[in-house]
């Protein structure tokens, strides 16, 4: 097994990695296993698994609508263990500040280390509408940079409980997120990149970006980051547009812009044509990125492997990959 940054530095051919989401609580793992079986055929260097904290939900009951706190998608740890130990592919679990105490985070990281999982993505996580109460004597990381510092401390053998005898240092490779079109809470891109720089200075090893559909956005972001002194790998994150509803949901949920050329083509197409349009757009993005010496691309696929299968076939047709 290897660190993400080792995969990048040792790559002799383009690397394409993927990101999956666990099933909902009570859901069938078989569908996700089928997706994993599909994508491991393409020999990804690593696979990310998202993590989810508790959130506020409203349910209709016999007593009327009631507010409940639920964690809808558990299973990150188990899926990572499966990927790494069954398929011999490095798993990258997402570690959140949102909804977890530092003590819970430390326990989770220890369990990962026991399983030989030593790549993590440290992120704050989305606002779920639920602010978890912090029990007396416990603490929480507020920002992703605080989480990075906690993981780095463990890498130095420093745990929350002081004076542990024979404390073993962990050995995590730490990824963090970057937003080429800025995080929606940041006042501007320069300020947002400063926050990324803080995470790198705290000890993060690489950046993976939010999805984008215009490569100029990515290259401008990389230039801006380098100008600000960020010299770690910046992996471009991509998504395949698969249906017309994405024209509304993607900008709404991820605060990004879609190129007018793509929007016009999708609007004018029949619904059954949209997937092929999205695949071709993504294939052209990958080809352009690789032609400009980008070593790795990362696809957000969640729980649907069909777009990836079509994409990989198209990339082979275009002779972008072998």
For the domain spanning 15-317, the CATH number is 3.20.20.220
Token code pair at residue 143: 């920002």
129 contact partners, CB below 8 Å, separation of at least 6: 55, 56
Distance CA 34, CA 43 (A): 15
Residue 128 has pLDDT above 60, yes or no: no
Distances (CA, A) of 101 to 65, 137, 138, 262: 29, 11, 7, 42
Give 155-185 pLDDT, tens digit per residue.
Answer: 999 999 877 767 899 999 999 999 999 999 9
222 contact partners, CB below 8 Å, separation of at least 6: 234
Q: Among residues 69, 76, 68, which one has the least CA distance to residue 104?
A: 76
| pLDDT (0 to 100) of residue 6 | 97
35: left (phi over 0), alpha (psi -120 to 50) or beta: alpha
119: left (phi over 0), alpha (psi -120 to 50) or beta: beta
SS (H, E, C) 191-232: HHHHHHHHHHHHCCCEEEEEECCCHHHHHHHHHHHHHCCCCC
Percentage of the residues of the chain whose pLDDT score is greater than 70: 91
Place of tokens 């899926």: 79
Q: How much is the pTM?
A: 0.91
| pLDDT (0 to 100) of residue 131 | 63
Residue 207 has pLDDT above 90, yes or no: yes
| pLDDT (0 to 100) of residue 66 | 57
Q: Among residues 115, 106, 126, which one has the least CA distance to residue 55?
A: 126
Distance CA 215, CA 223 (A): 12
Residue 302's pLDDT band (cuts 50, 70, 90): confident
């Amino acid at each position: 097994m290897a660190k993400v940054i080792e995969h990048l530095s040792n790559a002799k051919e383009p690397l394409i990695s993927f990101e999956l989401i666990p099933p909902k609580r009570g859901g069938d793992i078989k569908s996700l296993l089928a997706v994993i079986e599909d994508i491991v055929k393409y020999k990804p260097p690593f696979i990310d698994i998202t993590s989810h904290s508790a959130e506020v939900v409203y349910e209709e009951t016999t007593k009327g609508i009631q507010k409940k706190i639920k964690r809808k998608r558990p299973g990150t740890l188990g899926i990572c263990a499966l990927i790494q130990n069954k398929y011999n592919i490095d798993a990258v679990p997402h570690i959140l500040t949102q909804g977890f105490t530092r003590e819970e985070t430390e326990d989770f990281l220890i369990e990962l280390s026991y399983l030989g999982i030593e790549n993590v993505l440290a992120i704050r996580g989305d606002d779920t509408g639920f602010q978890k109460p912090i029990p007396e004597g416990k603490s929480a990381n507020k920002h992703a940079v605080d989480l990075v510092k906690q993981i780095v401390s463990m890498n130095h053998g420093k745990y929350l409980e002081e004076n542990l005898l024979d404390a073993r240092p962990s050995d995590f490779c730490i990824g963090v997120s970057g937003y080429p079109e800025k995080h929606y809470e940041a006042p501007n891109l320069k300020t947002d990149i400063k926050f990324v720089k803080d995470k790198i200075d705290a000890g993060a090893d690489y950046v993976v970006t939010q999805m984008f559909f215009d490569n100029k956005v990515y290259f401008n972001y990389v230039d801006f980051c380098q100008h600000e002194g960020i010299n770690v790998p910046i992996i471009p994150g991509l998504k395949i547009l698969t249906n017309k509803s994405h024209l509304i949901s993607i900008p709404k949920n991820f605060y990004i812009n879609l190129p007018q050329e793509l929007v016009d083509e999708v609007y004018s197409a029949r619904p059954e044509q949209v997937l092929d349009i999205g695949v071709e757009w993504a294939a052209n993005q990958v080809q352009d990125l690789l032609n400009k010496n980008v070593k790795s691309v990362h696809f957000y696929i969640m729980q649907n492997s069909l777009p990836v299968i079509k994409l990989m076939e198209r990339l082979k047709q275009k002779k972008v990959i072998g």
